[in-house]
């Protein structure tokens, strides 16, 4: 379970502030695309994402997109947002995060990965030894595999919430 439990869970990516990262010594952020920055297959990001990216960049957080999707999906969005990218990332394998560290000149302690899927994003972050941020998916998927995954994820999120409460008291 430890490998699947995110370090931080947020309602959406724009809830993540530079301060949340910086106080943990994190200066670089890898970002998933589908259901984290934008609706699957849609090039326009979710509302608020562009402004949020401006704030992150202004605070000196180095950014890179790390997506399992094909280059033809990732490139146009990355170019629009002015971000470097790694496509076909093969998350949950950690290899793309090692590449992200190199690309951004950050060690694993300075890097975080934010994404919407426990079994790809959170697990990849854990395996790479980088800080994991899980966000609620922007839109629900219809395919049964995703619905099953989301059910399992909701258990993990409940566990996260319980742990947070324990730590608080
Ligand atoms: Mg995703």
Sheet containing 8-10, strands listed edge to edge, beginning at the edge strand earlier in sequence: 8-10, 131-135, 111-115, 28-31, 62-66, 85-86
pTM metric for this prediction: 0.92
- 40 has a pLDDT exceeding 70: yes
In the reported structure, the alpha carbon of residue 25 is separated from the centroid of ligand 1 by a whole-number distance in angstroms of 25
Q: Report how far ligand 1's centroid is from the alpha carbon of 45 (Å).
A: 13
**Every domain of the chain and the residues it spans:** 2-168
pLDDT band at 1 (very low <50, low <70, confident <90, very high): low
Give the distance (Å) from ligand 1 centre to CA of residue 34: 4
Predicted local distance difference test score (pLDDT) of residue 150: 87
Instruction: Work out the average pLDDT over 54-78.
Output: 98
Architecture of domain 2-168: 3-Layer(aba) Sandwich (3.40)
């Amino acid at each position: 379970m430890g490998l699947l439990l995110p370090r931080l869970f947020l309602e959406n990516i724009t809830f993540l502030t530079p301060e949340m990262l910086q106080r943990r010594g994190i200066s670089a952020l890898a970002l998933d695309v589908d259901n984290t920055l934008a609706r699957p297959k849609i090039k326009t990001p979710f509302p608020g994402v562009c402004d949020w990216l401006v704030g992150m960049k202004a605070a000196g957080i180095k950014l890179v997109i790390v997506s399992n999707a094909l280059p033809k999906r990732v490139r146009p969005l990355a170019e629009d947002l002015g971000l470097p990218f790694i496509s076909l990332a093969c998350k949950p394998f950690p290899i793309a995060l090692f590449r992200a560290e190199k690309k951004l000149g950050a060690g694993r302690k300075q890097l975080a990965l934010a994404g919407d899927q426990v079994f790809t994003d959170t697990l990849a972050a854990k395996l790479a030894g980088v800080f994991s941020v899980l966000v609620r998916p922007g839109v629900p998927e219809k395919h049964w595999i995703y619905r099953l995954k989301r059910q399992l994820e909701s258990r993990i999120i409940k566990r996260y919430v319980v742990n947070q409460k324990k730590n608080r008291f």
